């Protein structure tokens, strides 16, 4: 299984595998995918309402594009990217050079081959960094989580044969020489009555099996989940998921902190988890949707630097007016503290103003063309992960 | 330089304060005339501070003092619930200390304050935003207390035969519990039929409640009242007996479940017994709309320990690095008490086990020798504590790759399994992970390890039913 991107890097490097499963061959609605593949469609009978997903290919592509175009790790540049996408139409991705590359589907066989190749690359240097990203259906009970691949349910008698036992896989990756690994799991972690019965004995293949002969060198291998065990993960139709959007905004700055040389870095053990939590909460509150609380496991110590920002971090800020009913008639703005480079939102929008601003100190203002409210101006520091700037206006 | 005194204010009905409450960071954000942050001089960025947390009404509100150069700073604290609480401060040349009292979102009730900060309940804004079911109206809550009387002439701690240990609880009864009969009394539900075991139950009164939550404040007095003031009971209170205690909850639409109660919990600072707080929550009225598929877990247990309460909170929230940070800064205070309180045969072994989980996660801390010895002692001195044996197995797995080391690790895992239900859910997780690794190796070698396979099968079923979001082992019985 060849990666979609490969670069010759001497020394430590980053190797990534990105999987997005939107089309499920044997779940309801999988006919179009079967037609594309030229195979007869059969339905897995115990699907329990699971079906096709629109978001995972968007989410996985967005993460892959970020890796190809924005990922910055001078100590470990990107050396390879495996991308597997399952969607009704044949997938492709545009590389940084503009070249279009065809993408393989995320069947169990393809994913297993890609994971083995990814691990093989990780075995070549203990200082390599391995990144794993999955978006698709997930099933969970208690401590056990399984990720479903596009041919899940092919054999209704053994549906979990086309899935990954995440616990086993993560434990098995201790056998890889690369001591820095990072996992992003953007999937529901809901129980499935039918699968739980099978879970009594088995949760799917681990692909890489663990051994009690643990590596002598400690491994840092945090897992960032889109949701807590037992809960669903959400997305808007046809867009990257809420978690992946929060992850990418965190990597753009909300999850970063300055180091001793004043470089801005995203650490795995730093505020990445809290930043995603902050942004997810804001996203679900904005649409008054169900809450989604992310979780993390194996986040040990400070972790390691995942991403070095090229400059100042971009910080999400919510500008609000108090009382809220004054917002509609307010002209909102922010500018540097000397008044330069103003950005203005004209009156007429009653909602809070969601902006992304480089870290620094700014002057925020609410102005009114007529009564009854009086102008308000405040200086505030914009700093990751972000904040709400409330301008209290008086009549 | 000016002294800056930091704390995190909570709103609580009582004065309990956590001296090492929340992890905080300070960043210099002094900006130039354009608003660009200046380059930070050395020493003006303070990371991983453990600041006190508690109500301002506490008798003597504590602060953490730091010295800062004049400038503008961002102070940021993250309590165990993951909320990022930040405040911008301006430090001038004044000789007076600058008091910084951070405060986060509001807890739904003062009596849910600690449950809120440990992440077990949502903030007030979210708590009231979705409807809950009427589950709690039909709930039945029992405290189940079990211990075995040491045989004549035998010290309780020397009991090593698995069948003699009461810590097993429901552990081996899970398959049978599938046909759980709700009409049975709690006494009948625990499979302790041997004559040396005493099972007593009580129905505690909720200290506080509303439609969504019930809070039970539990201390050893309740257990002693069940068993009488016998010498065995008195010695148990001081940690020398192998008693185990559970909160059993069931009801209409509430799956039968129980949680380990770490009673008695002696304050690690030596100031007496800490309250163990049990929260029982109603399920959502509409699980789908609330974003939860509701696996049915309803119990959360927290411990109001002044010194390590936050360590437990961070551990329960899965924030192992924060737990290790707090533990590191509380270390001096803990070490002052260590020999007497944590690692002697007398007092708070579960607290020592909690600390060992945090330290296992921070394996590069350079403190290996001393705490590895703690773990070895936990395993050897307290055969009723499954967690010590499991932790020792993992110390060996990570430190000793010799055949003998692996052999001992395997034996220690199986010992942990025989000792029964781990106090901490992390113990269930590590027990399963370890058994899977040994099972894999044996299968790979073409010689399946029958003993390990049998244990793996049981622990796998337990792991499916254990709530991974709780610190203390909390298990569904279906």
Most confident of A242-251, A296-305, B377-386: A242-251
pLDDT of B343 strictly over 80: no
Are residues A93 and A60 part of one domain?
Answer: yes
Say if CB B22 and CB B311 are below 8 A apart. Answer: no
**Mean of the pLDDT values across residues A278-296?**
79
Average pLDDT value for residue range A21-41: 93
Mean pLDDT for the stretch of residues B423-435: 95
The pLDDT value recorded for residue B174 is: 41
> Residue B157 belongs to what domain range?
125-303
Comparing alpha-carbon positions, the chain A residue that sits nearest to B174 is A200
Type and span of the H or E element at A317 = strand A314-322
Higher-scoring residue by pLDDT: B334, A62: A62
Quick one: B286 and B197 in the same domain? yes
CA-based nearest distance B114→chain A, Å: 19
B314 and B284 within one domain: no
Q: Where among B69, B104, B139 does a domain terminate?
A: B104
Query: What's the pLDDT score for residue B177?
Result: 40
Q: Do B322 and B386 belong together in one domain?
A: yes
Inter-chain touch A143–B468, beta carbons under 8 Å: yes
Which candidate from A144, A284, A383 shows the least CB-CB separation from B27? A383
Rounded to a whole number of angstroms, the distance from the CA of A296 to the nearest CA of chain B is: 7
**B469 pLDDT higher than 60:** yes
Average pLDDT rounded to a whole number, residues A280-298:
79
CB–CB contact B292 A143 (8 Å)? no
Instruction: For the beta carbon of residue B415, count every other beta carbon within 10 angstroms.
Output: 20
A234 lies in the same domain as A120: yes
- pLDDT at position B164 is 35
pLDDT at B219 over 50: yes
> Which of residues A246, A281, A308 is at a domain's end?
A308
Question: Please, which residues have CB within 8 angstroms of residue A60's CB and are 6 or more apart in sequence?
Answer: A18, A19, A20, A83, A85, A133, A135
Query: Are B294 and B157 members of one domain?
Result: yes
C-alpha angle B375/B197/B164, rounded to 5°? 45
A107 and A159, same domain (yes or no): yes
Overall number of domains in chain B: 3
* A293, A334: one domain: no
- The CATH code of the domain that includes A280 is 3.40.50.1460
State both tokens at A271. Answer: 């505020």
Nearest-by-Cβ selection for A381 from B72, B362, B409: B72
Considering the domain boundaries, does residue B9 fall inside one?
yes
* Most confident option among A9-23, A198-212, B40-54: A9-23
Max CA-CA distance within chain A?
Answer: 74
Query: What number is the average pLDDT over the span B322-329?
Result: 80
Name the pLDDT band for B394 (thresholds 50, 70, 90): very high
Q: What is the mean pLDDT of residues B445-471?
A: 90
- Give yes or no for residue B342 having a pLDDT over 70: no
What number is the average pLDDT over the span B97-115? Answer: 91
* Cβ separation A200–B126 shorter than 8 A: no
Asked if B398 lies within 8 A of A214 by C-beta distance, the reply is yes
In terms of Cα–Cα distance, which of B310, B354, B320, B352 is closest to B119?
B310
In this predicted structure, the answer to whether residue A377 has a pLDDT above a threshold of 70 is yes
Select, from the ranges A103-117, A138-152, B95-109, the one with the highest average predicted confidence (pLDDT): A103-117
Q: Are A385 and A264 members of one domain?
A: no
Do A170 and A303 have their domain in common? yes
> Are residue A80 and residue A224 in the same domain, yes or no?
yes
Does residue B350 share a domain with residue B262? no
Q: Is residue B112 part of a domain?
A: no
Mean pLDDT along residues B268-277:
86
pTM to 2 decimal places: 0.91
Q: Which two tokens stand for residue A255?
A: 């999850």
Q: Are residues A346 and A261 in the same domain?
A: no
Q: Residue A302 pLDDT more than 80? A: no
Q: Looking at residue A194, what is its pLDDT? A: 67
Tokens of B397: 């797995």
Domain boundary among B104, B138, B156: B104
> What pLDDT, on the 0 to 100 scale, is given for residue B99?
95
Predicted pLDDT of residue B178: 40
Q: Within this chain, do residues A222 and A339 fall inside the same structural domain, yes or no?
A: no
Q: What is the pLDDT of residue B299?
A: 93
pLDDT value of position A82: 98
B392: in domain: yes
Q: How confident is the model at residue B455 (pLDDT cuts 50, 70, 90)?
A: confident
Q: In this model, does residue B128 exceed pLDDT 70?
A: yes
More confident residue, B220 or A58: A58
Q: Are residues B286 and B244 in the same domain?
A: yes
Q: How far is it, in rounded angstroms, from Cα A127 to Cα A168?
A: 23
End position of a domain, from candidates A253, A284, A308: A308
CB atoms within 10 A of CB A21: 30
The listed range with the strongest mean pLDDT (A77-81, A151-155, A337-341) is A77-81
Crossing angle for the helix pair B349-361 and B309-316, nearest 10 degrees? 50
User: Would you place residue B288 in the very low, low, confident or very high pLDDT band (cuts 50, 70, 90)?
Assistant: low
Residues from chain A contacting residue B406 (CB–CB below 8 Å): 212-213
Check CB contact under 8 Å for B440 and A209: yes
> Can you point out the beta strands (E) in B429-470?
none
State the ipTM, two decimals. 0.91
| CATH number for the domain harbouring residue A366 | 2.60.40.1120
> Do B266 and B335 fall into the same domain?
no
Residue B22 maps to a domain: yes
B1 touches chain A (CB under 8 A): no
Residues B156 and B268 in one domain: yes
Q: CB–CB of B82 and A269 under 8 A?
A: no
Strand (E) or helix (H) holding A111: helix A108-122
pLDDT at B104 over 90: no
Average pLDDT over residues A154-166: 92
State residue B293's pLDDT score. 52
Interface of B with A in 312-341 (CB under 8 A): 318-321, 324
B8/B132 same-domain check: no
Residue-level pLDDT at B245 = 83
Q: Measure in Å the smallest separation between the Cα of A38 and chain B Cα atoms.
A: 36
Residues B86 and B181 grouped into a single domain: no
Indicate whether B206 belongs to any domain: yes
Q: How big is chain A, counted in residues?
A: 395
Taking CA–CA distances from B363, the nearest residue in chain A reads A218
B114 within domain boundaries: no
Q: Are B40 and A262 within 8 A, CB to CB?
A: yes
Gap from B378 CA to chain A (nearest CA, Å): 22
Residues B253 and B146 in one domain: yes
Q: Could you tell me what percent of chain A has a pLDDT over 90?
A: 67
* A249 has a pLDDT exceeding 90: yes
A369 membership: H or E segment, kind and range: none
Asked whether the predicted pLDDT for residue A285 surpasses 50, the reply is yes
Structural domain boundaries, residue A345: 314-392
What's the pLDDT tens digit per position in B135-187? 888 888 988 877 654 444 443 333 333 333 334 444 444 433 444 454 555 55
Would you say A69 and A252 are in contact if contact means Cβ atoms under 8 Å apart? no
Instruction: Report whether pLDDT(B276) > 90.
Output: yes
Judged by a CB distance cut-off of 8 A, whether residue B88 touches chain A is yes
The whole-number pLDDT of residue A177 equals: 97
Q: What CATH code is carried by the domain that includes residue B87?
A: 2.60.40
Q: Hey, are the CB atoms on B464 and A142 less than 8 Å from each other?
A: yes
* pLDDT confidence band for B38 (50 / 70 / 90): low
pLDDT at position B337 over 70: no
Collect all residues of chain A within an 8 Å Cβ-Cβ radius of residue B88: 380-381
For the segment B53-74, the average pLDDT, to the nearest whole number, is: 88
The answer to whether B411 contacts chain A (CB < 8 Å) is no
With 90 as the cut, is the pLDDT of residue A3 above it?
yes
CB < 8 Å to B289, chain A: 290
The residue that leads in pLDDT, A70 or B15, is A70
Farthest CA pair distance, chain B? 81
Which of B72, B104, B136 is the C-terminal boundary of a domain? B104
- Chain B residues lying within 8 Å of A190, measured CB to CB: 293
Per the structure, the count of domains in chain A is: 2
What single-letter DSSP state applies at residue B132? B
Query: Is A290 in Cβ contact with B29 (below 8 Å)?
Result: no
The values of phi and psi at residue B181, to 5°, are: -100, 110
Are A281 and A320 found together in one domain? no
The pLDDT mean for chain A works out to: 91
Is B150 a member of any domain? yes
Same domain, A166 and A297: yes
Task: Summarize pLDDT for A315-347 with one digit per residue, the tens.
Answer: 999 999 999 899 889 999 999 998 999 999 999
B71 plus B161 within the same structural domain? no
More reliable by pLDDT, B44 or A252: A252
Tell whether B463 lies on the interface with A, counting CB pairs under 8 A.
yes
B226 close to B266: Cβ distance less than 8 angstroms: no
CB-based contact, B366 to chain A, within 8 Å: no
The predicted model gives A135-140 an average pLDDT of: 92
Rounded distance between C-alpha atoms, residue B465 and residue B459, angstroms: 10
Do A246 and A319 fall within a single domain?
no
Q: Supply the mean pLDDT for chain B.
A: 79
Please name the residue of chain A whose CA is at the shortest distance from the CA of residue B294: A230
Q: Which of A142, A299, A361 lies closest to B31 in CB terms?
A: A361
From A273, A308, A343, give the residue that closes a domain: A308
Q: How is the beta sheet containing B244-251 ordered, strand by strand?
A: B197-202, B140-148, B244-251, B254-261, B474-476
């Amino acid at each position: 299984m060849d990666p979609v991107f490969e670069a010759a890097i001497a020394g430590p490097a980053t190797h990534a595998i990105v999987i997005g499963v939107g089309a499920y061959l044997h779940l309801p609605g999988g006919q179009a995918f079967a037609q594309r593949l030229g195979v007869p469609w059969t339905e897995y009978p115990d699907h329990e309402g699971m079906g096709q997903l629109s978001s995972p290919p968007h989410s996985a592509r967005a993460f892959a594009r970020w890796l190809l175009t924005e990922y910055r790790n001078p100590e470990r540049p990107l050396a390879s990217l495996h991308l597997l996408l399952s969607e009704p139409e044949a997938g492709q991705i545009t590389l940084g050079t503009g070249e279009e590359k065809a993408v393989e589907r995320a069947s169990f066989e393809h994913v297993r081959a890609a994971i083995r190749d990814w691990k093989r690359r990780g075995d070549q240097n203990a200082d390599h960094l391995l990144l794993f990203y999955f978006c698709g259906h997930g099933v969970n009970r208690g401590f056990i989580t399984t990720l479903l691949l596009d041919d899940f349910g092919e054999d209704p008698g053994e549906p979990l044969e086309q899935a990954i036992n995440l616990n086993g896989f993560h434990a098995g990756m201790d056998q890889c020489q690369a001591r820095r690994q990072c996992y992003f799991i953007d999937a529901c972690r809901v129980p499935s009555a039918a699968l739980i019965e099978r879970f009594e004995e088995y949760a799917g293949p681990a692909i890489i099996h663990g051994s009690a002969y643990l590596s002598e060198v400690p491994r840092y291998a945090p897992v960032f989940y889109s949701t807590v065990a037992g809960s669903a993960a959400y997305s808007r139709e046809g867009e990257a998921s809420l978690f992946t959007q929060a992850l990418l905004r965190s990597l753009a700055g909300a999850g970063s902190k300055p180091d001793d040389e004043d470089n801005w870095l995203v650490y795995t053990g730093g505020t990445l988890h809290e930043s995603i939590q902050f942004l997810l909460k804001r996203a679900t509150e904005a649409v008054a949707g169900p809450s989604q609380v992310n979780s993390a496991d194996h986040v040990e110590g400070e972790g390691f630097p995942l991403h070095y920002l090229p400059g100042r971090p971009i910080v999400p800020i919510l500008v609000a007016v108090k009382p809220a009913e004054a917002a509609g008639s307010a002209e909102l703005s922010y500018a540097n503290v000397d008044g330069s480079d103003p950005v203005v939102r004209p009156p007429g929008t009653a909602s809070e103003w969601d902006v992304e601003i480089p870290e620094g100190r700014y002057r925020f203002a609410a102005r009114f063309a007529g009564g009854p409210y009086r102008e308000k101006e405040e200086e505030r520091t914009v700093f990751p992960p972000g904040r709400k700037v409330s301008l209290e206006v008086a009549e | 330089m000016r002294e800056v005194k930091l704390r995190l204010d909570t709103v609580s009905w009582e004065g309990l304060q956590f001296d090492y409450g929340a992890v905080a960071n300070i960043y210099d954000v002094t900006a130039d005339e354009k608003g660009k942050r200046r380059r930070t001089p050395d020493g003006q960025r303070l990371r991983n501070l453990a600041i006190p947390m508690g109500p301002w009404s506490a008798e003597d509100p504590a602060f953490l003092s730091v010295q800062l150069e004049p400038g503008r700073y961002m102070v940021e604290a993250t309590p165990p619930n993951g909320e990022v609480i930040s405040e911008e401060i301006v430090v001038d040349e004044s000789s007076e200390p600058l008091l910084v009292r951070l405060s986060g979102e509001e807890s739904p009730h003062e009596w849910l304050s600690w449950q809120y900060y440990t992440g077990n309940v949502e903030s007030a804004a979210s708590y009231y935003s979705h409807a809950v079911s009427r589950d709690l109206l039909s709930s039945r809550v029992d405290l189940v207390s079990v211990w075995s009387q040491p045989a004549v002439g035998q010290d309780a701690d020397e009991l090593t035969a698995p069948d003699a240990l009461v810590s097993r609880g429901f552990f081996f009864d899970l398959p049978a519990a599938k046909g759980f009969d709700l009409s049975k009394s709690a006494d009948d539900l625990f499979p302790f039929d041997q004559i040396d075991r005493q099972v007593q139950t009580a129905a505690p009164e909720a200290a506080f409640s509303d439609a969504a939550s019930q809070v039970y404040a539990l201390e050893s007095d309740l257990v002693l009242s069940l068993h009488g003031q016998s010498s065995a009971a008195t010695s148990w209170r001081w940690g020398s007996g192998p008693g185990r205690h559970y909160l059993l909850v069931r009801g209409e639409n509430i799956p039968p479940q129980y949680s380990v109660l770490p009673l008695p919990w002696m304050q690690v600072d030596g100031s007496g017994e800490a309250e163990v707080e049990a929260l029982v929550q109603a399920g959502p009225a509409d699980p789908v709309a609330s974003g939860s598929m509701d696996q049915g877990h309803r119990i959360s247990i927290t411990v109001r320990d002044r010194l390590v309460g936050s360590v437990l909170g961070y551990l329960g929230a899965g924030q192992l690095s924060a737990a290790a940070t707090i533990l590191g800064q509380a270390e001096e205070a803990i070490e002052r008490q260590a020999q007497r309180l944590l690692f002697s045969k007398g007092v708070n072994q579960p607290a020592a086990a909690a600390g060992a989980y945090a330290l296992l996660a921070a394996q590069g801390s350079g403190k290996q020798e001393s705490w590895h010895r703690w773990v070895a002692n936990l395993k050897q001195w307290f055969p009723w504590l499954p967690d010590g044996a499991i932790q020792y197995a993992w110390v060996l797995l990570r430190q000793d790759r010799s055949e003998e080391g692996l052999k001992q690790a395997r034996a220690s895992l199986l010992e942990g399994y025989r000792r029964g239900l781990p106090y901490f859910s992390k113990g269930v997780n590590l027990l399963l992970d370890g058994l899977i690794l040994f099972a894999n190796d044996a299968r790979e070698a073409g010689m399946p390890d029958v003993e390990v396979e049998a244990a793996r099968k049981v622990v796998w079923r337990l792991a499916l039913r254990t709530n991974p979001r709780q610190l203390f082992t909390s298990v569904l019985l279906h």
